[in-house]
Amino acid sequence: ALMLPACLILALAIGRPNPFSFGGARNDRFDPQRPGIVRFTRHPLLAALTLWSAAHVLPNGDLAHVLVFGALAAFALFGGRLVDRRRQREMGPAWADLRRAVASSPVAAIPDGETLARLAAGPLLYAALIPIHQLVIGVDPLG
């Protein structure tokens, strides 16, 4: 139940400009009035990692899996705070200004073509991961 939202967030985030997060592609092209998924979370890849980790802790309740996936979830949850502090230090007052601009941006009633393509890619990624999971990991994630 958590993997579909994780795939959607991943599809909406990957390759998009995001001046708030680590790395980032084409951050100079980020438009605070059209922030996409960044309107809802400054760190969408970390949000997807959190969901992915949680989805794997629940069915694999043994100690080893709890430690591995729990550590990844903790990294994702607390890593965003560390990235925020670093980016705030690097950007100075522009960080708070950009945050306010993103928070006040309108939520698009009708998504643009790129967003629609990304929304379609999320379920496609999820559908592709199901048989791949069986082949690579040896466990049917739906069974």
Terminal CA-CA length for the chain: 13
* pLDDT digits 0-9 by tens, 29-72: 999 999 999 999 999 999 999 999 999 998 887 999 999 999 99
The whole model's pTM is what? 0.90
Q: Of residues 60 and 135, which shows the higher confidence score?
A: 135
| H/E run at residue 141 | none
Per-residue confidence band for 24, with pLDDT thresholds at 50, 70 and 90: low
The answer to whether 3 and 56 have CB atoms below 8 angstroms apart is: no
Report, as an integer, the average pLDDT of 128-143: 93
